[in-house]
A and B are shown apart, each in its own frame.
Chain A
Amino acid sequence: MHSIWAVARNTMAQAVRMKIAAAVIFLLLALLPMMSVITTGDGTLLGKLQSFSSYGISLVSFLLSILTISMACFTLSSDLHRRTLDLVVTKPIARCQIVLGKFLGVMVLNLILLAGFACIVYGLTMAMPSLTDSDPAQQAQAETEFFTARKSVSVQIEADAVAKRVEERIEKLKKEGQMPDQMSLSQIRQTLTQQEQVSEKSVELAAAKEWDFQNVFPPRDPNAVLFVRYKLLASPDPPNEEIFGQWRIGDFRQFKMGIQKFKTPVYAVEQSDSVRTIHEIKIPAAAVAEDGHVTVAFFNSPDYNVSTVIFEQMEVLYKVGSFGTNFFRVVLLIAVRLIFLAALGVSLSTWLSFPVAALCSLNVFFAGLVNGFFMEAIGSLGAFLGLVYQFTIRWMLHIIPRFDGPYSPTDYIVSGEVLPWLFLIRAALLTLGVQMLLLLAVGIWIFHRREIAKITV
């Protein structure tokens, strides 16, 4: 252990004395305070907070990822290149201790930096409400929608139901002999599935749609609130870019029993919303039934609207924790990413030169950033091509950790959404406990067999 720590200390000294970390540190120190002043968002306090925290966290996590990659790839390969390792390996230190020491050094330094910059972003965010002049309503909005940690519940699109409807439509087309000749069956199925998925999300003019949410358990507190968060599109585009919605939110099962016997209230909200923007409706949490059931209904009234409305996003949220601890978990999520990248860089540089190892690491990093997109794209590819990719790219994407979607740290903070401990732990176990250990094992194995003094030009 003392050997590993000695190598780790040496690695940190290298990064500091060779000014590898300096560029990133100065950039962040200059950019973060400046951004806190110049970001405005949509003009409200909430918008300012959201855009600053979004840029701040993305910037910190991106720059530290790049720094981790370059440090991790540089340290071992420069030691090999400058032959300083020739001397180190003749000492009573195992090869794996050298690899682990390098990894530890890169990791510790970057985690220290992460902790420092996370504190800066946190401090600037917390100071923002008192430093900007905003009315109490805006302050309250920021408090309930940003300085919080909310759990989100959404309605799963019922894939089985969609598939069933698609098959019904295909049967019908076949019966009527209207199957298009120029399309293969799988292409037809794909097109119909897309159509059905859109129709699942859309509300025609003069029609209504209900979303049934299960397992919604806001705190049993008279002041507790429930948020309905949505984003809508309209086709054709409405003249003023707005849609007027008539909403009812509550436990609709009670309608059968007659209005006098209602245990929980049903709330009515009527408001006009701009399209292609995320909006939130705030109602008392009392609308949710005891068993965690709540229904949200939307009526597309022809009196006000002229378009079909398509819901891009629809979820309900309620507060489950504090902003501080959620921020902490988000930082841990970034830490998981940095630790993985440190292991990746060090492992690759046991057998690749610095530029090659750095390029490979960057590729993995960027692939991780678009991993979910790739997976979806491959899933919807045609039969043959899909099969080819299935056996090449797909398994590679599986061993690469995901940095997008639910693994992206910013979304949690921006939408005030809770990052559950369980999710964080599962992500850490998968990324660090499986993928990273595998990488390190391969790197150590290669390094163990390597001729250190072999000249490579």
Chain B
Amino acid sequence: MESGVNQFAIETIDLKKVFSDWWGRARVKAVVDLNLKVRYNEIYGFLGPNGSGKTTTIKMLLNLLHPSGGHAFVLGGKSTDAAISRRIGYLPEESYLYRYLTARETLDFYGRIFGLPGSVRKNRIDTLLEMVGLSGMGSRQIGTYSKGMMRRIGLAQALINDPDLLILDEPTSGLDPMGTRQIKDLLVELCRRGKTILLSSHLLADVEDVCDRIGILYGGRMQIEGPVRELLQHRGQVQITAGELKLQTREKIEALLREDGSDYQISSPMDKLETFFVNTVARAQKTQPTSGAGAGTGIQGFLAVQPKSPQQEALDRLVSANVHTEKIKEDVQTEKSRTRQETPAAKKELLAKLTQMSFSAEDAKAVTTEKPTAVPAKPAAPIRKDLLEKLAGRDQEPNGQTEKTGDPGPGGSPDA
């Protein structure tokens, strides 16, 4: 095919899917002329409201559905090719697992299909079960699991072959906040190790922390696409984040701004991606109908003004406690420096946030160019690096890792 094919881990060219009824009449245009491009070694957030065609696109990528038009390439070829599907891990929308098998048998079954030898299979299964936090429950039938537990087994199943490309359809649905956090940390960690991840979701908080790039789908069309930072950054506006301000200080600032003659607004910071998401969908709604769930204005308003419930805040605090361990600090630094050119100010701010130092006046003036919730949270049960190492079949010292993961650029092809 074209030379471009090998540049991307996932590439679709004018991909279309029309669901027709029994008589062949077109009923639903689920995907319309989609050009999705996911680079190697990035985490791509595939966003969209319910029924926007995310799952349909993923199913076409995996040959579960046949496109009505256009092409879909995965890892530079078709997913029907065993050499390519060997390198893919897929977590479906719901965990479609055999209910009569135990967790261990399930993983063993998929391991056998991949042709893994017995000893490797056993090691991986132990490691994976431990990683997804189900090591004590491996001999229970999956039918007896809760939804979140099934989700975890689903994820373990997607990792059994140590895939280069992970396609996750709403991986965090049904998971508890701790599980969500763990998955997010896992994804970042996997990306650090050179994997490519396509992550579909409508839970924005999930995507915001981890994704390098996002695309928002609505009515089967890609509405907007780009790096998270770029999309969320308002040009020509400056945000000042500060702690509690004394009334006088605030008045002084307001006076200064008035003097300067610029428009201003003072409010508490809010979840920016959420606003952005809602606005994008609203814009799209004005110009085009959807086949999926329509976001009525009521819901829009609901989403926009809904304050965080006390429990939610408590959970947020819970999962973001203890952010100042040295380990996390290092991790985040390496991760960030891999993909982004840091401005010194931003770096400083990041460091400050990490160590929870109070902001000096100068620091507070620094322009926020960082991802809005870049504060990494310490996971309730952190991903065990040693487990990942075992899975990837690499047993080198920690020093080696940073070198290795710093190496491949975002466009680089890891299968070279």
Query: B-contacting residues of A (Cβ < 8 Å)?
Result: 2-3, 5-7, 9-10, 13-14, 17-18, 82-94, 451-454
Q: Which of A10, A86, A92 contacts B92 (CB 8 A)?
A: A86
Partner of A6, one of B66, B100, B109: B109
- Of the residues B79, B90, B96, B115, contact of A2 by C-beta under 8 Å: B115
Q: Is the CB of A13 within 8 A of B105?
A: yes
Answer yes or no: B114 CB below 8 A from chain A CBs. Answer: yes
| Chain B residues whose CB sits within 8 angstroms of the CB of A83 once the complex forms | 92, 94, 96
Residues of A within 8 A of B88 (CB): 90
The distance from the CB of A415 to the nearest CB of chain B, in whole angstroms, is 44
How distant is the Cα of A92 from the Cα of B114 in the complex, in angstroms? 6
Q: Is the CB of B96 within 8 A of A86?
A: yes
Of B34-42, B57-65, B379-387, the one contacting chain A is B57-65
Within 8 A of A (CB), among B181-240: none
Question: Which residue of chain A is the closest to B59 with respect to CB atoms?
Answer: A453
Whole-angstrom CA separation of A83 from B96 in the bound complex: 6
Residues in B neighbouring A88, C-beta threshold 8 A:
113
Tell me whether B86 is interfacial, beta carbon within 8 Å: yes
Docked-complex contact B98 and A14, CB < 8 angstroms:
yes
CB–CB A90/B100 < 8 A: no
Take A451-B64, A453-B65 as given contacts and tell me if A91 and B96 are in contact as well, using a CB distance cutoff of 8 Å.
Answer: no
Contact A91 to B114, CB < 8 A, known contacts A10-B109, A86-B92, A453-B59: yes
Of all chain B residues, the one with the shortest Cβ separation from A93 is B113
Check B145 for interface membership: any CB of A closer than 8 A. no
Write the nearest CB–CB distance from B97 to chain A, whole angstroms.
7
Complex alpha-carbon distance, A90 and B88, angstroms? 8
Kindly list chain A residues whose C-beta atoms are within 8 Å of the C-beta of B85: 90-92
> Separation in Å of the A142 CB from the closest CB of chain B?
47
Interface size class of B (residues with CB under 8 A): 20 to 34
Known A-B contacts A14-B98, A92-B85; the reply to A86 vs B64 at CB < 8 A is: yes
B112 at the interface (CB under 8 A from A): yes
- Give B365-400 interface residues, CB cut-off 8 Å to A: none
CB closest residue in chain B, given A19: B100
Q: Which of B131-159 contact A (CB under 8 A)?
A: 141, 157
Contacts known (A10-B98, A10-B101, A83-B96); A90 close to B109, Cβ less than 8 A: no
Q: In the bound complex, what is the Cα–Cα distance between A348 and B384 (angstroms)?
A: 48
Are B65 and A87 in contact, CB atoms less than 8 angstroms apart?
no
Closest to A16 in B: B100
Q: How far is the CA of A13 from the CA of B100 in the complex (A)?
A: 8
Contact status B113-A6, CB under 8 Å = yes
B277 proximal to A (CB < 8 A): no
Asked whether, in the complex, the Cβ of A2 is within 8 Å of the Cβ of B64, the reply is no
* Complex contacts, A86 vs chain B, CB 8 Å: 59, 64, 92, 96
**Contacting pair B101 A453 (CB below 8 A):** no
Q: How far does the Cβ of A79 sit from chain B's closest Cβ, in whole Å? A: 8
**Known interface pairs A13-B100, A14-B100, A82-B96. Does A91 touch B113 (Cβ–Cβ under 8 Å)?**
yes
Q: Which residues of B contact A453 (CB under 8 A)?
A: 59, 64-65
CA distance A85 to B62 in the complex (A): 12
Report if B266 contacts A (CB, 8 A): no
Measured CA separation A353–B233 after assembly (Å):
53
Residue of A6, A7, A90, A454 near B79 (CB, 8 A) is A90
* A interface footprint on B58-86 (CB within 8 Å = 1, 0 otherwise): 01001111100000000000010011011
Chain A residues contacting B101 (CB-CB under 8 Å) are: 10, 13, 17
Q: Which residues does chain B contribute within 8 Å of A454, judged by CB atoms?
A: 65
